[in-house]
Structure 1
C-alpha cells in the first residue's frame, strides 16, 4: 500500500492567476503536480512521480503532460492541498486508483507551453547540423541511418567529454558506467551500451530532430553539440578514405577473437596470457587509428584496461560507423 510522502517544492512551471503546474521532489524522485477544481479555502493538486527518463522525454516534447499522469510506467499518484505547504514542504496523500478524467490534464500540453522558466533545467542544445538527403528513402532506411549516426555521435562525444577536465563528475561517472557495466558478450549487450551512452547526457549534448524535408533533394536539421558534429563528419570522411584497409584490420581482429573463442566471452571473464592481450591491444589500436579514433588511451581507461572489452567496443563502433558512412557513399547523404 502506498504511504503518505513528503515532497519539497522546486519550481512553478505554469502560473495563471495562481500556480497551475508544479515541480516537486520527494527524495531523489521527481514529482509533477497539477491544480484541480477545489472547494473554497483550498488549493487541491494531483501529483505523479516521474522517472528521470520520462521527465527528460517530457522536456524534449516526446510525450505530453497527460502521458505522465496516465500512461507512464513506474509512477505513483498522490493528492495534496497546496495551502498546507510549510517551508516549501508538503505532505502528499496516496491517490486511490487511477486519475479520473475530471482531474487529468488535456491532451497535447507540452513543455513549450510552460509559462515560467525552470532554473533547475539545463538549456537545450543550440548547435545545428544540416544533413542533406537525396535519392529514394523509406522509413526503415531513415530510421537506420539516424540510429547509426546517433551511435557515432554519442560514442565520439562520450570520449571527448570524459577527457574534458570541465565535465561534471556525475556525467563522467555515468559515462564510465556505460563502458563498465555491460557484459559485451554479443547481441543486445551492444544495443544497451549505445543506449546507455545516449540516456544520461545533458540536454546540450542530446541529439534532436528540429526539421525534416523528405523531398528529393531534402534535408534533416539536427540539434546537438558542435564539436561532436565536427567529429562525426571527420570520422565518416576518414572511414570512407580508408575503408579498404580498415576492413582488412577489422576482419583480422574479428578472426583472431573468433579463433581464440573470445567473441562470446564476457569481458569480466577475460583471462588470457599477456601475449594474447598484447596482440588484441595492438590490433585494436591499429584499427582505431585507421578509422580516425585517436584517443584510444581514454577508451582503454573507460574499459578499465580490459583488452577484450576494448576490442569489442571498437569492433562494434566500426560496424556502426560503416553503416552510417554507407549512406554518404551511396550519394543519399551529404553534409551542408
Structure 2
C-alpha cells in the first residue's frame, strides 16, 4: 500500500485546535467514515476519513454551522458543499495507538482531489447510520417564554441561563439512548458519588448537544409584555414549562419545599454532602440503610415533579442513589430560581 501524499498547507500544533467531543457516527463502513463532533467553543465539526496507508489513517476536520448541519442531515446539502463552505480544512493522521499527529491546515483548492467528496455526496438512507437518521428526525420549532414586569439587565442574563441549564438536564434524560449523551451523563454522575461542582452537570451536557438541538434565541422582545422566542426541541421546553407550572402552584411548592427541607435535614444528620455547589474532597461512602432512604426520597421527588417516564432511564445511569439525589437537588434549585421570576411577574407561564 502506497504512503499517503504530503499535504499542501501549513503545519500546526494540535494543541492550538479546540478540544472536540464525539457526538455520533453518521456514516460507517468497517468503522466510522463521517462523525459529528462538538468543540469546546460550542461549534460543530465533521470528522471525515479521507485516506490511509499501512501505518496511519488520515482525517479531515470540517467545521459546519447549524443550518448546514441540519441541511446535511436532511439530505438537502452534499458533504462536498460543506467542504467548500468550511474555509480552512484541518487534517491529521491517526496511528494504531490512536494518537493524532501531523496536523495541517489547508484549503479546498490545494488538497488532493481524491480527498474531496463527490458532488452528489448526500447523506441519504442508503449510507446514513441509525444515529444520523434519529438526529435528522428531531426537528426544532419556535418555543416562547413570555416576559413582563420590570426587567433589569441581570434578569435578561439569568432567565435564559436557567432555561438553558434545565433544557440541558431534560436533553440528557430524554437522549440517554445516544451513546455520547449516556456516556457523558454516566461520567458526570460517577464523579458525583464523591461530589463535584453542580454546574458541571449542565455544562457537561452542553458538550454533547449538537447545534441543531441547542435552544437558539430567534427573538428577544420586551415591551411589557415581551418574550424570548427560541428555536428549540419543543418537547424539552414543554418539560420545563410543566415542571415550572407544578411548583408555581403554592400548595405544590409548599410540598416540594417540605420535601427539600426533609432531604436537607437528612443530609446534615447523616453527614452527607450535596446541597452546595462546592467540591467534595473525597468520595462519600453510604450504608445500605442510607441507600434505601435516598431511594425513597428519589421516588417521592420524581412523583412530585411528575417524571414517572424518566424514572427507569435515570436509574440506569448510575446505581448510586446519592449521585442521583445530588443531580435532582441541583435541578430543583435552578427550577426554584426560575419560579421566583414567575412570582415577581417577570416570567409568565404558557398555561
Name the TM-score, length of structure 2 as normaliser: 0.61
- The yes-or-no answer on 1:291 pairing with 2:305 is yes
Question: How far has the Cα of 1:305 moved from its partner?
Answer: 1.2
Gaps (5+ residues) in structure 1?
11-21, 34-44, 51-75, 90-115
The residue aligned with 2:321 is 307
What secondary structure is seen at the aligned counterpart in 2 of 1:216? coil
Query: In 2, Cα distance between the equivalents of 1:30 and 1:80?
Result: 12
Query: In 2, Cα distance between the equivalents of 1:148 and 1:31?
Result: 32
- The yes-or-no answer on 1:200 pairing with 2:224 is no
- Superposed CA deviations along residues 252-306 of structure 1, whole A, max 9, x for unmatched, are 111211222211685982322211111111123212322333223322221x210
Q: 2:109 aligns with which of 74, 78, 82?
A: 82
What secondary structure is seen at the aligned counterpart in 2 of 1:131? strand
Question: How far has the Cα of 1:48 moved from its partner?
Answer: 6.0
Stretch of structure 1 that moved more, 194-203 or 222-231: 194-203
Q: CA 1:29 to 1:335, structure 2 compared with 1: closer, same or farther past 3 Å?
A: farther
Alignment of 1:17-166 (within 5 A): 25=48, 27=58, 30-31=61-62, 47=88, 49=90, 78-79=105-106, 82-83=109-110, 85-88=112-115, 126-162=140-176
Stretch of structure 1 that moved more, 123-132 or 141-150: 123-132
The residue aligned with 2:29 is none
Q: CA 1:184 to 1:314, structure 2 compared with 1: closer, same or farther past 3 Å?
A: farther
Q: CA 1:245 to 1:87, structure 2 compared with 1: closer, same or farther past 3 Å?
A: same
8 Å contact kept, 2:46–2:63: yes
Provide the aligned length of Structure 1 versus Structure 2.
Answer: 254
> RMSD across aligned C-alpha pairs, in angstroms?
3.8
8 Å contact kept, 2:89–2:107: no
- The yes-or-no answer on 1:173 pairing with 2:188 is no
The residue aligned with 1:225 is 233
8 Å contact kept, 1:30–1:49: yes
What secondary structure is seen at the aligned counterpart in 2 of 1:87? helix
8 Å contact kept, 2:12–2:104: no
Q: CA 1:330 to 1:292, structure 2 compared with 1: closer, same or farther past 3 Å?
A: farther
The residue aligned with 1:240 is 248
8 Å contact kept, 2:217–2:228: yes
Stretch of structure 1 that moved more, 167-176 or 289-298: 167-176
Query: In 2, Cα distance between the equivalents of 1:319 and 1:191?
Result: 11
The residue aligned with 2:219 is 211
Name the TM-score, length of structure 1 as normaliser: 0.63
8 Å contact kept, 1:152–1:320: yes
Query: In 1, Cα distance between the equivalents of 2:180 and 2:46?
Result: 22
8 Å contact kept, 2:195–2:283: no
8 Å contact kept, 1:239–1:292: no
8 Å contact kept, 2:170–2:239: yes
Q: CA 1:271 to 1:223, structure 2 compared with 1: closer, same or farther past 3 Å?
A: same
Question: How far has the Cα of 1:198 moved from its partner?
Answer: 2.0
Question: How far has the Cα of 1:223 moved from its partner?
Answer: 1.1
Question: How far has the Cα of 1:142 moved from its partner?
Answer: 1.6
- The yes-or-no answer on 1:255 pairing with 2:265 is yes
Q: CA 1:322 to 1:28, structure 2 compared with 1: closer, same or farther past 3 Å?
A: farther
What secondary structure is seen at the aligned counterpart in 1 of 2:316? helix
Q: CA 1:84 to 1:137, structure 2 compared with 1: closer, same or farther past 3 Å?
A: closer
- Superposed CA deviations along residues 136-159 of structure 1, whole A, max 9, x for unmatched, are 111211211111112222212321
8 Å contact kept, 2:145–2:348: yes
